[in-house]
Amino acid sequence: MTQPLLQHICQLFYDSPIGTAIRESDYAFSLIESVHVLAITLLVGTISILDLRMLGLVLREVPVSRIARAVLPLTWAGFGVMFVSGLLLFWAEAAKSYLNPAFRVKVVLLLLVGLNPLIFHTSVYRRVTEWELDHRSPWRARLAACASLLLWGGIIVAGRAIAYF
Amino acid sequence: MFSLQHLFTTLAQSPLGHYMQTSRWAFAVIEMVHLIALAALGGSVLVLDLRLLGVTLKGESAAAISQDLGRILLVSLTAMILSGIGLLSEEALKCYFSPAFRWKMALLAAAVLFYFTLHRRAVQRASYESISLGQRTTAVVSLLLWFGVGVAGRAIGLI
């Protein structure tokens, strides 16, 4: 075996019955892709409302934690749909995805966008009761909001670019 | 004589159309803008209509939420229409004859009209305590119309 381990795993996905079935079906890939595209609204559309609130651009009179309670369940639901549909799309194309530069960028951005809430929720968000009424959140919360908006935007861009490589 | 088909032909032959048809990356870049604006538009519609349904943010006034999320909606809708014209100019005649594109335009017109009329009235009348049947119906119709625009839009590339 001269391939790198990751490439080998991708090839196994690609050659598996499920991967092959999705790739060879007339409709499966397009249908899953449509779900993946429309669920962007559920995932990115909802979390960006929380980000814009912390930046002080919308709903300034509503406490940050109340917005978080309203949108995060939707965001997580969106993440579930995106993860499952994305995994199925990857399954069908894994061997090609591995070599695709846009796919690689997307994976890196996804890892970063996962790190962001981990840092946010274990640091500045722990004291949210102290600042949730502020029209503009503290700079560390604003930094997390900007990172979230930029990373999700980048993920959409990289995701769309996958089809062009 | 004016015809819609003539208008689409003019768009395809315009400098914008030429640029979109010959540039290697223009279509992809405009598609990315269209998708980012879709995220913002869909998120604002969803949260606003869930508030009307009484699912989220029940303690906040629907009118206040609508004022702020309505701003996101209008900015992203403008971005979607402008980027959409760019995408359309690349393949205007194909779109003119595409049933999916025609459905999308009809649903878009219905969704926008609904948003500025009946939806707006339901938001102004929404109260904190009880959620009327009319209010619920308005929210569901709004969600279905916008969802329909998205599905039809996705279908343009497939059929």
Q: Which residues contact B148 (CB under 8 A, 6 or more apart)?
A: B103, B107, B111
The answer to the question of residue B96 being in a domain is yes
Mind listing the pLDDT tens digit for each residue in B39-93?
999 999 999 999 999 999 988 899 999 999 999 999 999 999 999 999 999 999 9
Q: Chain A: give the shortest CA distance to residue B140, in Å.
A: 16
Task: Work out how many domains chain B is built from and give that number.
Answer: 1
Mind listing the pLDDT tens digit for each residue in B47-61?
999 999 999 998 889
Task: Work out how many domains chain A is built from and give that number.
Answer: 1
pLDDT at residue A1 greater than cutoff 60: no
**Residue B48: closest CA among B38, B32, B62, B58:** B62
Distance, CA of B71 to CA of B112 (rounded, Å):
14
Domain limits at A142? 5-164
Which chain A residue is nearest to residue B44, measuring alpha carbons?
A45
Domain limits at B48? 4-154
User: Mutating which of A53, A69, A160, A162 best tests the B interface, going by the most B Cβ atoms within 10 A?
Assistant: A160
Q: Is B150 in contact with B142 (CB distance < 8 Å)?
A: no
Task: Given the cut 0.95, state whether the ipTM is greater than it.
Answer: no
The answer to the question of residue B159 being in a domain is no
H-helix or E-strand spanning residue B48: helix B26-52
The answer to the question of residue B116 being in a domain is yes
Distance, CA of A60 to CA of B67 (rounded, Å):
12
Q: For the ranges A44-48, A55-59, A84-88, A117-121, which has the lowest average pLDDT?
A: A117-121
Token reading at B144:
């279905």
Q: Which residues contact A164 (CB under 8 A, 6 or more apart)?
A: A102, B25, B28
Q: Chain B: give the shortest CA distance to residue A88, in Å.
A: 19
pTM of the model as a whole: 0.94
The answer to the question of residue B110 being in a domain is yes
Q: Is A150 in contact with A156 (CB distance < 8 Å)?
A: no
